[in-house]
Amino acid sequence: MNYQNPKTSIIIRTRNEDNTFEEVLSCIEKQTYQDFEIIVVDDNSTDKTQQIAKEHDCKIVLIPEGKFSHPYSCNLGAQNAQGKYLVYLNGHALPISDTWLADGLKNFKDKKIAGIYAFVIARKNSTLADKILYDVVGRTIGALKFKANKKMTGVLGTTNAIIRKDLWNQYHFNEKFNSGWGGEDTNWARYFMERGYCIVHEPKFRVRHSHNLSWKDFFWQLKNWLKMAYPVLGIPEKQRKNV
């Protein structure tokens, strides 16, 4: 890791992640690419999440009580980042390999690339609903590398994504997408796609990610993903704790 003048900033959003966070950080520390800092943006965890972050020498940024939203946490991490590239990761999202970060960053050789992402696959111990929801896409379309330059669902999901900080400086994540169902990441991607940039889906940048969804949660998530194919500001669904 490099905390003096890092080229890359890994921004990990957390809230009570101590059952998975140690594994995630250990995987990051084993990456072949090491020119990065780790910034943990924590939403007032009451378990050992912050302690684990300190033990791994992470920079900790606390979200003020009651201020959490996905776009706010993304922007807060970026504001505290030194890197040229901003890597977004959830505290329970596990990179699939030791070359995960290098495989994602290599795509920025093309100056017209604004961001990198990959559809996730479910963690091995996840529920059947999780495995259906994530693996149907993650192991089919998600196994393909492609460039996105137009509307489609799930582009640049910040469960695992990399963006250029110089572009973030031009356009931050829109904090009006604060319902808890997301959309700010696709909105950011669309802003730059409309200006001639592309977003790369890189299957080698996949992570294992699960919410242990019930079937009820499965259908709520699926419905809102479909709505976000053509998102509008202020999705009128109440925030759910496991999103």
What pLDDT score does 237 carry? 38
Q: Average per-residue pLDDT in the chain?
A: 85
Supply the angle between the helices 215-227 and 128-138 in degrees, to the nearest 10. 30
Give the CATH class of 8-227.
alpha beta
Q: How confident is the model at residue 232 (pLDDT cuts 50, 70, 90)?
A: very low
Q: Is the pLDDT of residue 138 over 90?
A: no
Can you spell out the DSSP letters for 60-96?
EEEPPTT---HHHHHHHHHHT---SEEEEEETT-EES
Q: Which of 79, 75, 40, 88 is nearest to 60 (CA)?
A: 40
Tokens of 141: 């379309």
pTM of the full structure: 0.86
pLDDT for res 63: 96
Residue 236 is encoded by which pair of tokens? Answer: 């009128």
| pLDDT above 70 (res 36) | yes
pLDDT beyond 50 at 233: no
The structure tokens listed for 2 are 């490099």
Phi, psi of 220 (to 5 degrees): -60, -45
The structure tokens 């419905």 sit at: 223
Q: What is d(CA 45, CA 24) in angstroms, rounded to the nearest whole number?
A: 17
Position 231 scores a pLDDT of 43
Domain range summary for the chain, segments of one domain joined by +: 8-227
**236, pLDDT greater than 50:** no
